[in-house]
Amino acid sequence: MRASGAAGSIEPHSLDWQGLMDRSQVEKVSKALADETRLRIFEAISRTGHMNCGEIVSMRGVTPATVSHHLKILSEAGLIVCRREGQFVYSEAVPETVEDFTRALTKMALNKKSAKRR
User: How many domains, in total, are found in the chain?
Assistant: 1
The reply to whether 61 falls in a domain is: yes
Does position 47 have pLDDT exceeding 80, yes or no?
yes
Does position 77 have pLDDT exceeding 70, yes or no?
yes
Does position 96 have pLDDT exceeding 90, yes or no?
yes
pLDDT score at 11: 45
Question: For residue 55, what are the domain limits?
Answer: 23-117
Integer CA distances (angstroms), 13 to 19, 25, 49, 82, 114, in order: 11, 7, 21, 16, 27
The reply to whether 4 falls in a domain is: no
The reply to whether 10 falls in a domain is: no
Average pLDDT over residues 108-112: 83
**10, 11, 12, 15 alpha-carbon torsion, rounded to 10°:** -130
Please state the pTM of the whole predicted model.
0.79
pLDDT score at 3: 40
**In 9-86, alpha helices (H):** 23-34, 36-48, 53-57, 64-76
CATH number at residue 47: 1.10.10.10
The reply to whether 111 falls in a domain is: yes
Average pLDDT over residues 70-95: 96
Q: How confident is the model at residue 113 (pLDDT cuts 50, 70, 90)?
A: low
pLDDT score at 60: 83
Residue 86 phi/psi, 5-degree rounding, is 65, -125
Angle between helix axes 23-34 and 95-117 (nearest 10 degrees) is: 110
The reply to whether 53 falls in a domain is: yes
- The whole-angstrom distance between residue 103's C-alpha and the CA centroid of its chain comes to 15
Average pLDDT over residues 13-37: 83
Contact 51, 91 (CB under 8 A): yes
Average pLDDT over residues 81-107: 95
